[in-house]
Structure 1
């Protein structure tokens, strides 16, 4: 890799979406006088009687949670999509709209209100992975569900309204825009090479080692060459799997292990419960074959310089395209130097 370009303004190409990102490494030298956010602590009670996600508590809908001991899912009480939405379409000149149906679920990772993924045991996270698999299969086999999006918003900065460890699953009739873009580029590479785009990319990253953070026998965690967020991370299975449902028991545990190690790395970076949005991109569930797809999990965290300084996507990013200051290589080097023991345990 030509290192000279890494010290000057340049663009990097995202092979999964076909988009470019502006990188401005020289800007890290400028003084910071921007807004700060309150640091989030990790200490909470294991049960909160006012939490609508804790076991046995009543939610705002009037439904009562069971006294669950393992990951628990339920239909979102304030779902963005509804399964019984009638089919309607509107066309008025250049204006166009159509109804969208779907099923939105909440996934409680643990009955313990005080935990987050980095503080959970690998065995507990493995059960979360198993729940994701179950929901992907069941929702994906439901009529009129053509895509299943698994994700987590962690932290108030990311709009999370409840600190109880949980994520969401939105499944829907249409295939989302980001998935359409990735399907296009996966397909083009597959047609030309009869190989997975991410499989070849992963091999190049493992040889370079500049951006690789963690590795076990089944998975690799790395900062993508085209990363947008300061400490963006992608977890990729070494085997060419189209979706999470293909993981065997050993791979479920390996996935859980690398998620735990990665999120500990995040918390240790600034000594705070690190906020992020994470999500799994995988093959659609519309009944078609997607041999080109290679599932992956991405983490998009906003923190830039400390627990109180975040990266804002404003100005140029809103009106032109994504931009970052620290390079992917600088971010990877910073994260690799961190201990693997959670800071709260030392």
Structure 2
């Protein structure tokens, strides 16, 4: 009899309409590949050489204020710029926007990139901040989404955090980024189409229906509260990939009530603490929110959610590589989402480095 636990199979992602190959039997293979060095985690509360700490100078000479909670500034090395002249580049073999567009085609893209410092403390992460402090970060995210999204040339606001050197973070100070783009990025376009099609066909939210199924089965749940659910999606690609979904059908962070914002902060703390406790290391990941585009359309199908993509596989020093078949054909994973969720659920919610909290 076919078994999801024992046999190779493909799982479908209804949000992006992509497939992932799952090979649970491969967890038994030995590992003789690359082993990462475990990062040294001892950091001072303040680092005079850090360009994100309060009062310090950044690379462009600007001096950070003596901020006490959060601090937002325009990225000194932005990938997007707001004043790019409008223009196109196209070869002569087709017309832009036609059924057969030019083989060589490019167009200008405007945008704004900002940095959000979560805390003045250099030595903290989301997992080690308290819920009120994380709630202030959620409030800033919501405010930035509203302000950037209100600009006439911004069509989408992507809020994210790259945590750890393994994920390309150039500074260990707790911070994230916001990239506001003129047009919808590729993944957002795919999720937009899938959610719109589902709403038109059923009259319901795709993620609301999916969340109902997950809450009934309880196989892939990791952390829950009254307002949000963190789970390993059925179609997860990365070993300990998670998705955070709002219980209420809202389209964006700015739609959340104060209680829901606190609930999101609670989920973020509990999830990232479990991540750290898994291998007793400051867990690397990329985490970001997918929410309603800001192009002026109502987008009733959009359901607020976040994706967390951590690369670690077997330990703090063995990561998952997306190479070979993954790059050339389709994504593949070994440990099943159900097994990953079970491991995360079994972990304590007291951070492994917390020596002050009561058991």
Q: Give yes or no for TM over 0.5.
A: yes
40-49 vs 317-326, which moves further: 40-49
Paired residue for 1:225? 234
Q: Distance in 2 between matches of 1:238 and 1:183?
A: 19
**Which residue of 2 is the match for residue 80 of structure 1?**
79
Residue pair 1:267, 1:342 contacting (<8 A) in 2 also: yes
Select the residue among 127, 136, 152 that pairs with 2:136: 127
Q: How many residues align?
A: 345
User: Partner of 1:100: helix, strand, or coil?
Assistant: coil
CA contact (8 A) 1:100 1:174 kept: yes
Question: Match for residue 19 of structure 1?
Answer: 18
- Unaligned 5+ residue runs, structure 2? 94-102
Moved over 6 A (4+): none
Which digits, 9 at most, give the CA deviation of each residue in 1:27-48, with x for residues without a partner? 0000000111111243210000
Q: 1:275 aligns with which of 284, 287, 291?
A: 284
Secondary structure of 2:353's match?
Answer: helix
1:329 is matched with 338
Partner Cα distance (2:325, 2:205) in 1: 33
Among 99, 105, 110, the alignment partner of 1:101 is: 110
Counterpart CA distance in 1 for 2:341 and 2:111 is 38
2:172 pairs with 1:173: no
Aligned equivalents of 2:20 and 2:3: distance in 1? Answer: 18
Deviates more, 1:229-238 or 1:87-96: 87-96
For residues 89-128 of structure 1, the C-alpha deviation after alignment (integer angstroms, 9 at most, x for no partner) is 0111420011111000000000000000000010000000
Task: Tell me how large the CA RMSD over aligned residues is.
Answer: 0.9
- For residue 265 of structure 2, the aligned residue among 233, 256, 263 is 256
Q: Any idea what the Cα deviations from partners look like across 1:190-231, whole Å, max 9, x if unmatched?
A: 001111000000000000000001110001000000000000
State the SS of the aligned residue for 1:345.
Answer: coil
Alignment partners' CA distance in 2, 1:66 and 1:144: 29
Listed one character per residue, the Cα deviations across residues 113-155 of structure 1 (whole Å, up to 9, x for unaligned) are 0000000010000000000000000000012000000000000
Distance change (3 Å), C-alpha of 1:128 and 1:3: farther
State the TM-score, normalizing by the size of structure 2: 0.95
Secondary structure of the corresponding residue to residue 42 of structure 2: coil
Deviations 1:15-35 (A, max 9, x none): 101100000000000000011
Deviates more, 1:249-258 or 1:37-46: 37-46
SS in 1 for 2:160: strand
Distance between the aligned counterparts of 1:5 and 1:100, measured in 2? 43
| Cα distance in 1 between the residues matched to 2:272 and 2:263 | 14
1:130-181 per-position Cα deviation (integer Å, ceiling 9, x unaligned) = 0000000000001200000000000000010000000000001011010110
Matched, 1:182 2:188: no
Deviation at 1:3, TM superposition (A): 7.4
1:211 aligns with 2:220: yes
Verify the 8 A CA contact 1:215 1:258 in the aligned structure 2: yes
Deviation at 1:67, TM superposition (A): 0.4
Q: TM-score w.r.t. structure 1 length?
A: 0.98
CA contact (8 A) 1:228 1:324 kept: yes
Q: For 1:333 and 1:3, how far apart are their aligned partners in 2?
A: 21
**2: CA distance, partners of 1:85 / 1:337:** 50
Alpha-carbon distance between aligned partners in 1 of 2:77 and 2:296, rounded to the nearest angstrom: 29
Structure 2 residue matching 1:132: 3-state secondary structure: helix
8 Å contact from structure 1 (residues 41, 272) kept in 2? no
The within-5 A match list for 1:84-163 is 84-92=83-91, 93=93, 94-163=103-172
